[in-house]
């Protein structure tokens, strides 16, 4: 893996994470919230739940995923470099 | 000893003990090098850095005011929850790892070297100082207010005490001292926040986890808490709790301004310079967000439970029934105590001896209120009471109340200290060392750093004591300013090889100027009165001054890209620096 491929893989990861981030907050928590409110999650209207709880949980999961994926990518890069 | 005197003594002991702890840490961690002073010698463990970032970030506003804001705004208050947590995603994906990889001391230093320009660095320093000072005055004020409410000292004495403690650990301990006191402060504040929340959740719904409790059914069999809350607040003329009333476009822009502003705040960014390696910057962003999320998912629960408790206390019977409202003479003890502070105020407008609390600015509800014989809302409720009075409303023991006082002070002090340090680093490192006196020795620079931290504390204290009318309003605008000025040049500095000095400088200046002018035009500053009336009809595209930072940021990007397209490409050295910042690796890039 070259430094360029590493950067491309990183950009792809970032783009994916940003999409999830946007959909959870601006999507489910804001723009789609009035529609989602017709569904219930326990005692919560779903749109309201995303705005006050769900989006924050998704943020945490996105960051955990990104940190792990980058750790793997770093390891792959090191392994490829060692082979040379 | 009376209950009140007992409570005050206990509060004094708890707050005093927390101060002793902070000062002890300061003495243990005092520093001798500039690397220690600015970025704790790049030796902070990611979990500790996560905690310190959380305390750094969560200010008096998060601790004291946010749940109250949400309690009265309902769904519309979600902008604070999503905005102030979602920013960490941007921070971790787009900024933190690269700033750590760059590996110097400050944000203006990154901008200066990336754009190979002293001008860019000085403009960044100006943005940084403007953002940080608007923010810090509010913190010092918060310290003063907590002191005066819980210990009945006057605000001035409270301020001087707070300044003294911050002075000790920021000036002696620098970033190292601040980091470890922030870790302690996080523990104090999160404990103080969650304990009352758990007890109140158990009392109202029988569920110990507040995050689940506020979506559960009422313990008294009255059905779902949120459904009940929706009904009763609407019966009283307020907007539905779970649906809110603000325009979706404005909510969108405010959320975006808070998120991007969070990612552009210098005192948060600098925390990611302090960890050992690049992967630690990523994992400590995860920890920071987890520690912040504990408070930020509890806050909406506190908000809903407290709004429910408050409404049920004032309106125990059916709305409109002549005996449906609380008899003033039978009000609970906490009601009396908080009346003394002025945070609760009752005025019997219709002389019926009962308390009516409803939305008297709703034209639709006016007729109903008239039929009920109500002649205006009779209760003034300060939003801050939601967190501050919570333990009393839940009848928790006195030590919990004392802990909440210590928690509020911890939240304000930790943020103030973090801000002071970035201001002093910008002055002593970016202005004095890098611009005015390049030959300054390390010891000289350290002394300059300490002196500028001390001066910044004095100025912050002065601003906290004599808040120039605009400070309280402007605190919220610090985010818009950070989003419009600092976020774009850092992001483009990493993700675009083409972006150059002319683009970055003109972008920063236009974003900052536009946002500042828009805010002044609608809200005014100091002696300047607003030029336009602050109503949605007058706003540009219907975006409030709180959300305008996003437009400023877009303007920054557009101007930067435009100017950049007809000016020279950055030099090869700069291009090589970008390559090194992007490349995998754990340490810093060589300059």
ipTM of the complex as predicted: 0.94
Q: Which residue of B has its CA nearest to A65?
A: B286
Asked if the model's pLDDT at residue B507 lies above 90, the reply is yes
Contact at CB, A3 and B583, closer than 8 angstroms: yes
Residues 6+ apart with CB under 8 A from B352: B322, B325, B373
Asked if the model's pLDDT at residue B475 lies above 80, the reply is no
Q: What span, in angstroms and rounded, lies between the C-alpha atoms of B415 and B129?
A: 15
User: How big, in percent rounded to 5, are the helix, strand and coil portions of chain B?
Assistant: 75, 0, 25
* Residue indicated by tokens 């690269």: B98
Q: What span, in angstroms and rounded, lies between the C-alpha atoms of B532 and B530?
A: 6
Residues of chain A positioned with their CB less than 8 A from the CB of B210: none
Average pLDDT over residues B469-492: 78
Instruction: Point out the least confidently predicted range of A28-32, B383-387, B468-472, B498-502.
Output: B468-472
Residues of chain B positioned with their CB less than 8 A from the CB of A73: 584
Tokens of B336: 């009396």
Nearest to B108 by CA among B338, B422, B522, B537: B422
CA distance A4 to chain B (A): 8
Average pLDDT over residues B466-481: 66
Average pLDDT over residues B393-422: 84
Q: With an 8 Å Cβ cutoff, is A66 touching chain B?
A: yes
- Domain hosting A32: range is 3-83
Mutate to test the interface with A, among B83, B307, B582, B584 (most CBs of A within 10 A): B584
Q: How many domains does chain A have?
A: 1
Angle in degrees, 0-180, between the axes of helices B155-167 and B398-425, rounded to the nearest 10: 60
Mutate to test the interface with B, among A2, A43, A81 (most CBs of B within 10 A): A43
Contact at CB, B215 and A41, closer than 8 angstroms: yes
* Neighbouring C-alpha atoms within 13 Å toward the C-beta of B194: 17
Q: Which residue of A has its CA nearest to B96?
A: A67
- The better pLDDT of the pair B452, B589 is held by B452
Q: Is B33 helix (H, G, I), strand (E, B) or coil?
A: coil
Asked if the model's pLDDT at residue B451 lies above 50, the reply is yes
Q: With an 8 Å Cβ cutoff, is A29 touching chain B?
A: yes
Query: Residue A66: which of B93, B242, B290 has the nearest Cβ?
Result: B93
Average pLDDT over residues A3-18: 92
Nearest to B125 by CA among B471, B486, B433, B454: B486
Mean pLDDT highest for which of B17-26, B139-148, B458-467? B17-26
Residues 6+ apart with CB under 8 A from B227: A43
Contact between B275 and B496 (Cβ < 8 Å): no
Tokens of A33: 């919230």
The confidence band for B491, taking pLDDT boundaries of 50, 70 and 90, is: very high
pLDDT of residue B214: 86
What is the pLDDT of chain A when averaged over all its residues? 90
CA distance A84 to chain B (A): 16
Average pLDDT over residues B335-351: 82
- Phi-psi domain of B524 (left: phi exceeds 0; alpha: psi -120 through 50; beta: other): left
Average pLDDT over residues B58-80: 87
Asked if the model's pLDDT at residue B591 lies above 50, the reply is no
Residues 6+ apart with CB under 8 A from B309: B200, B204, B393
Mutate to test the interface with A, among B47, B53, B78 (most CBs of A within 10 A): B78
Q: Which residue of B has its CA nearest to A68?
A: B283
Q: What span, in angstroms and rounded, lies between the C-alpha atoms of A73 and B376?
A: 64
Q: What span, in angstroms and rounded, lies between the C-alpha atoms of B50 and A27?
A: 28
- The better pLDDT of the pair A84, B200 is held by B200
Contact between B525 and B464 (Cβ < 8 Å): no
Asked if the model's pLDDT at residue B590 lies above 50, the reply is no
Contact between B280 and B569 (Cβ < 8 Å): no
Q: With an 8 Å Cβ cutoff, is A64 touching chain B?
A: yes
The confidence band for B586, taking pLDDT boundaries of 50, 70 and 90, is: low
pLDDT of residue B230: 86
CATH number of the B3-308+393-582 domain: 1.20.1730.10
- The better pLDDT of the pair B275, B292 is held by B292
* Residue indicated by tokens 């620096």: B577
Which pTM value belongs to this model? 0.90
DSSP H or E run through B550 = helix B549-565
Instruction: Point out the least confidently predicted range of B167-171, B305-309, B469-473, B486-490.
Output: B469-473
- The better pLDDT of the pair B511, B317 is held by B511
Residues of chain A positioned with their CB less than 8 A from the CB of B211: 53
pLDDT of residue B469: 52
Contact at CB, A51 and B579, closer than 8 angstroms: no
Contact between B525 and B470 (Cβ < 8 Å): yes
Asked if the model's pLDDT at residue B488 lies above 90, the reply is yes
How many C-beta atoms lie closer than 10 Å to residue B525's C-beta? 17
Average pLDDT over residues B109-118: 87
Number of residues in chain B: 591
Average pLDDT over residues B114-143: 83
DSSP H or E run through A44 = strand A44-45
Per-domain residue ranges for chain B? Answer: 3-308+393-582
Residues of chain A positioned with their CB less than 8 A from the CB of B255: 25-26, 30
Residues of chain A positioned with their CB less than 8 A from the CB of B226: 43-45, 48
Beta bridge partners of B564: none
Instruction: Point out the least confidently predicted range of B192-201, B455-464, B499-508.
Output: B455-464
Q: What span, in angstroms and rounded, lies between the C-alpha atoms of B201 and B305?
A: 7
Contact at CB, A43 and B217, closer than 8 angstroms: yes
Q: What span, in angstroms and rounded, lies between the C-alpha atoms of B171 and B37?
A: 9
DSSP B327: B
Asked if the model's pLDDT at residue B444 lies above 60, the reply is yes
Average pLDDT over residues B485-491: 92
Query: Residue B81: which of A7, A56, A71 has the nearest Cβ?
Result: A56
Average pLDDT over residues B92-116: 87
What is the pLDDT of chain B when averaged over all its residues? 84
Average pLDDT over residues B293-319: 90
Mutate to test the interface with A, among B58, B70, B92, B207 (most CBs of A within 10 A): B92
* Neighbouring C-alpha atoms within 13 Å toward the C-beta of B365: 20
How many C-beta atoms lie closer than 10 Å to residue B565's C-beta? 10
Tokens of B213: 């409790």
Average pLDDT over residues B88-111: 87
User: Percent of chain B at pLDDT above 90?
Assistant: 15
Question: Could you tell me the maximum CA-CA distance found in chain B, to the nearest angstrom?
Answer: 80
Asked if the model's pLDDT at residue B1 lies above 70, the reply is no
Average pLDDT over residues B254-261: 90
Q: Report the C-alpha dihedral over residues B407, B409, B410, B411, rounded to 10 degrees.
A: 90
Contact at CB, A43 and B216, closer than 8 angstroms: yes
CA distance A67 to chain B (A): 6
Average pLDDT over residues B231-238: 86
């Amino acid at each position: 893996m070259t430094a360029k491929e590493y950067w491309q893989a990183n950009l792809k990861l970032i783009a994916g994470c940003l999409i999830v981030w946007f959909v959870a907050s601006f999507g489910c928590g804001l723009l789609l919230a009035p529609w989602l409110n017709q569904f219930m999650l326990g005692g919560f209207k779903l749109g309201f739940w995303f705005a006050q709880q769900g989006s924050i949980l998704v943020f945490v999961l996105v960051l955990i995923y990104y940190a792990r994926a980058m750790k793997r990518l770093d390891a792959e890069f090191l392994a490829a470099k060692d082979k040379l | 000893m009376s209950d009140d005197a007992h409570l005050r003594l206990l509060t004094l002991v708890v707050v005093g003990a927390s101060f002793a702890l902070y000062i002890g840490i300061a003495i243990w961690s005092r520093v001798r090098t500039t690397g220690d002073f600015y970025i704790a010698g790049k030796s902070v463990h990611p979990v500790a850095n996560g905690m310190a970032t959380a305390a750094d970030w969560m200010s008096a506003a998060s601790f004291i005011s946010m749940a109250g804001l949400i309690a009265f705004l309902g769904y519309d208050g979600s902008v604070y929850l999503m905005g102030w947590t979602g920013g960490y995603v941007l921070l971790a994906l787009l900024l933190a790892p690269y700033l750590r990889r760059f590996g110097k001391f400050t944000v203006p230093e990154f901008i200066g070297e990336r754009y190979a320009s002293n001008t860019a660095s000085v403009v960044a320093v100006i943005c940084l100082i403007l953002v940080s000072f608007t923010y810090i005055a509010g913190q010092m004020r918060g310290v003063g207010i907590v002191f005066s409410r819980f210990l009945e000292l006057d605000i001035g004495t409270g301020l001087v005490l707070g300044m003294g403690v911050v002075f000790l650990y920021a000036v002696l301990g620098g970033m190292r001292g601040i980091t470890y006191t922030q870790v302690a402060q996080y523990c104090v504040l999160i404990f103080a926040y969650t304990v009352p929340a758990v007890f109140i959740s158990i009392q109202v719904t029988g569920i110990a986890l507040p995050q689940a409790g506020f979506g559960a059914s009422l313990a008294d069999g009255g059905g779902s808490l949120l459904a009940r809350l929706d009904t009763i607040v609407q019966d009283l003329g307020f907007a539905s709790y779970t649906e809110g009333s603000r325009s979706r476009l404005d909510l969108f822009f405010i959320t975006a301004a808070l998120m991007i502003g969070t990612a552009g705040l210098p005192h948060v960014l600098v925390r990611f310079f302090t960890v050992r390696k690049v992967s630690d910057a990523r994992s400590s962003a995860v920890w920071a967000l987890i520690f912040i999320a504990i408070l930020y998912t509890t806050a909406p629960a506190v908000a809903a439970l407290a709004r429910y408790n408050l409404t049920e206390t004032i309106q125990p019977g059916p709305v409109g029934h002549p005996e449906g409202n609380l008899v003033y003479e039978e009000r609970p003890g906490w009601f009396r105590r908080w009346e003394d502070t002025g945070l609760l105020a009752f005025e019997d407008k219709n002389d019926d001896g009962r308390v009516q609390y409803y939305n008297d600015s709703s034209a639709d509800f006016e007729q109903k209120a008239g039929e009920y014989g109500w002649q205006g809302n009779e209760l003034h409720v300060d939003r801050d009471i939601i967190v501050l009075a919570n333990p009393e409303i839940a009848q928790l023991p006195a030590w919990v109340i004392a802990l909440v006082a210590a928690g509020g002070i911890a939240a304000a002090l930790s943020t103030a200290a973090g801000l002071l340090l970035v201001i002093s680093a910008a002055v002593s490192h970016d202005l004095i060392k890098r611009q005015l006196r390049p030959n300054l020795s390390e010891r000289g620079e350290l002394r300059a750093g300490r002196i500028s931290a001390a001066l910044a504390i004095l100025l912050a204290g002065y601003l906290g004591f004599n808040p120039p009318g605009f400070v309280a309003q402007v605190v919220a605008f610090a985010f818009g300013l950070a989003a419009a000025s600092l976020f774009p040049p850092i992001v483009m500095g990493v993700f675009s090889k083409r972006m150059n000095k002319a683009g970055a400088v003109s972008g920063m200046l236009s974003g900052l100027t536009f946002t500042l002018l828009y805010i002044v035009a609608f809200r005014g500053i100091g002696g300047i009165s607003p030029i336009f009336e602050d109503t949605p009809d007058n706003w540009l595209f219907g975006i409030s001054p709180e959300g305008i930072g996003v437009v400023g940021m877009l303007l920054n990007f557009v101007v930067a890209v435009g100017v950049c397209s007809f000016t020279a490409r950055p030099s090869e050295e700069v291009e090589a620096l970008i390559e090194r910042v992007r490349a995998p690796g754990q340490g810093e890039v060589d300059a």
